[in-house]
Amino acid sequence: MKIKYILLSVGFAGACFFASAQDHKKKDYVSRKSDIGITAGALGYAGRYSIETPLGTHTSYAVSAFYDHNIILPSQLYVRGELLFGQMKGDNLDRNTAAAKGSFKTNIFEATAKAQYDFLNDAVTKWSPYVIAGVGGYRLFNYTATNGSKSASDELGFVLPVGGGVKYKVSNRGRLFLEGNVRFLSKNLDNHTGENVNNPNKYYSLALGFSYSLQKTNQLW
């Protein structure tokens, strides 16, 4: 009789453990594979013409659209393809400085592929910080500068964006996020060149974005 009770107790405990495991697995399961999204924000030039100048002289606008896709392993790793359009500028002509003086303004079109890693599973949390890094190419156009124009080949180059942000889940499919990046360029922006000239070849971005999941959480394709 005691053996029967022991077997029933073990069976009941096993069933409870199995049900708990299945419930936990269901909560952790993420079927969301891909998102589309947009961002709007600012691009900030960091170079000789930005030193000791007001923020507005070297900061302008940028907008982008992207598509990201979860690559399964791990479930919080995504690949993002993004297209960005914006403006970059710098101007220190009215500054009293002994350093190089000048100004430039250009539009930029950028295409990048990035890897994004979410530290938390945003299917089961409201907030999720993340890091992002990638590679891409850019094209400058409508370029003007006090140091002359650029050649067609000098308006093309490579870019390495590195940054991070934080996402907030506003609905089952919608997420707001704030993201900052530093972008390293393969060529200078301000056309200030010469022997022993060390041009930083980078600019910064800060953007507010919204993404929309193409699949519902915990729902198969």
Q: How high is the pLDDT of residue 217? A: 63
- State pLDDT tens for residues 112-140: 999 999 988 777 788 999 999 999 999 99
Residues 6+ away with beta carbon under 8 Å from 168: 126, 127, 175, 176, 177
Give the pLDDT mean for 42-57.
87
11 sits in which H/E element: helix 2-28
3 sits in which H/E element: helix 2-28
Distance of CA 70 to the CA centre of its chain: 15
- The pTM is what? 0.78
CATH class for the domain made up of 31-213: mainly beta
Alpha-carbon span 62 to 85, nearest angstrom: 6
- The answer to whether residue 219 scores a pLDDT higher than 70 is no
- The answer to whether residue 25 scores a pLDDT higher than 50 is no
On whether the CB atoms of residues 211 and 35 are closer than 8 A, the answer is yes
Identify the residue whose tokens are 């070297």.
58
Residue 99, CA distances (Å) to 8, 47, 94, 193 in order: 85, 12, 12, 14
Q: How high is the pLDDT of residue 3? A: 52
Q: How high is the pLDDT of residue 50? A: 85
Give the pLDDT mean for 15-20.
45
Q: How much of the chain, in percent, has pLDDT values that exceed 70?
A: 78
The winner for highest mean pLDDT among 29-33, 169-173, 179-183 is: 179-183
On whether the CB atoms of residues 88 and 59 are closer than 8 A, the answer is no
Q: What is the DSSP letter of 48?
A: G
Give the pLDDT mean for 50-68.
91
On whether the CB atoms of residues 128 and 120 are closer than 8 A, the answer is yes
State how beta strands 34-46 and 77-91 pair.
unpaired
- State pLDDT tens for residues 91-118: 988 887 777 788 899 999 999 999 999 9
Q: What is the DSSP letter of 122?
A: T
Comparison of pLDDT for 177 and 69, the residue scoring more: 177
On whether the CB atoms of residues 112 and 136 are closer than 8 A, the answer is yes
Task: Please count the residues of the chain.
Answer: 221
Domain ranges of the chain: 1-30, 31-213
Residue type, 156: L
